[in-house]
Structure 1
Amino acid sequence: MATKTKDNDLNDLLQKYDSFINLKLKPNLKTVLDSRDELYNTMSDYQKLKSQIEMIQQGEHKELKTMVDLGSQFYAQAHIPDTTYIYVNVGFGFHVQFTLDEAKAFIDKKERRLQSSVDKYSEEADKIRAHIKMVLEAMAEALDPSRID
C-alpha cells in the first residue's frame, strides 16, 4: 500500500514538473525569443536603410527613382527630386528629417541600443533554458530507481 502512495506522489510530482515546463517555461521562452526576433528584424531594416544611404552618397545622386512599399508588399514607383534629406522612423510613429550623415549617425546609435536589448533578451532566454534543463534533471532524478528513498 505504501508503494502505491509513493508511486502516486511521484506521478503527481512529475506531472507538476511537466505542467510547469509546458505551461510556464516554454511559453515564456517563446515570448522572449519572439521579442528578440522582432528586434533583429528592426535592426535589419536599419542596416538596409544605412546601406541605401551609403549607396546614395557614393553615387552622389541628387535625385532618385525607386520602388516604395505602400504596405502588404504592394509597391509603387517613386521619384525623389532631392536626396539631401531623408525621413527616418525614430519610433512611436514619429519620423524625423535628417541629412544623410545625420541619419547614419542616428542609425548607428539606434543599432547599439537595439543590440543591447537583443543581448538582454538572449540572457533571459538562456536563463529560461537553464530552468527547463534543471526541471528535466529533477524529473530524471525522481525517476532514477537507484535513488535512496
Structure 2
Amino acid sequence: MQEPQPPVPAQYPAEIQSAVQKYTDFIQGKLEPDLQHVIEQRDAIYTRMSEYLKLKTHIDTIRTQKLEELETKVDLGSNFYVKAFVPDTQLLFVNIGFGFHLQMTLDEADAFIDDKVKHLEKLTDRHTEEANEIRAKIKMVYGALMESMNLVDK
C-alpha cells in the first residue's frame, strides 16, 4: 500500500522539509515493511488453513465413498508427483505442527482439523487487526503531514 507522498516544495522552511522527509522515511522504512510482513504472515496462515481444509475434504470423500483402500498421487515437492497406494484408509498421519506428524483415526483427524482451523482463524484475525492498525498509522501520519504543510501555507 503506497500512499501518495506529500510534495515538499522549496518554499517550505528547511525544518519543515526535514520533518516531512523524516516522517516519510519512517513510513517507508518502518511502517510499510511492517505492514508487508504482517500480511505475508497472515497469508502463510491462510495457506496452512487451506491444507487442513483440503485434508478434511479428503476425509469426507473417504467416508462418503466408504473407501477401504486408496490409490492416489503424492507431491514430493516442486510439483513432482508419484503414485501411492494406501492399503488402509482408517488411519492417517496429520501434521500437528513443529514438524511432528501424529497417527489419527478419521474421527480424531476431523476433530483436530476443526480445532486447528478455529485456532488459525483467530491468528489471521489478529494479523488482520494488526495490519489495519498499521494502515491507520500510515494514513494518520500522511494526514498530519499534509495538514502541517497546509498550515505553513496559511
The answer to whether the superposition gives a TM-score over 0.5 is: yes
In the alignment, is the contact (CA less than 8 A) between 2:71 and 2:84 conserved in 1?
yes
| 1:35 is aligned to 2:41 | yes
Alignment of 1:94-109 (within 5 A): 94-109=100-115
CA deviation vs aligned residue, 1:21-73 (integer Å, no higher than 9, x gap): 00000000000000000000000000000001000000000000000011111
Structure 2 residue 126 is matched with structure 1 residue 126: no
Give the aligned partner of residue 50 of structure 2.
44
Aligned residue number for residue 81 of structure 1 = 87
Asked if the contact 1:141/1:147 (under 8 Å) is kept, the reply is: no
- Structure 2 residue corresponding to 1:62, chosen from 65, 68, 86: 68
Q: Which structure 1 residue ranges, 5 or more long, are not aligned?
A: none
| Percent of paired sites with the same residue | 46
TM-superposed CA distance for 1:145, in Å, is 4.9
Structure 1: how far apart are the matches of 2:57 and 2:38? 29
TM-score, normalised relative to structure 2: 0.90
Match of 2:28 among 22, 30, 47: 22
Listed as ranges, the gaps of 5+ residues in structure 2 are 1-9
RMSD: 1.6
Kept in 2, the 8 Å contact 1:69–1:75? The answer is yes
Equivalent residue for 2:117? Answer: 111
The structure 1 segments of at least 4 consecutive aligned residues displaced by more than 4 Å after TM superposition are: 145-148
Partner of 2:6: none
Distance (Å, rounded) in 1 between the aligned partners of 2:60 and 2:105: 12
Which residue identity does 2:51 align to in structure 1? D
Give the superposition deviation at 1:5.
10
TM-score (norm 1): 0.93
- Counterpart selection for 1:10 from 16, 19, 32: 16
Letter in 2 for 1:101: D
Question: Letter of the aligned partner of 1:137 in structure 2?
Answer: G
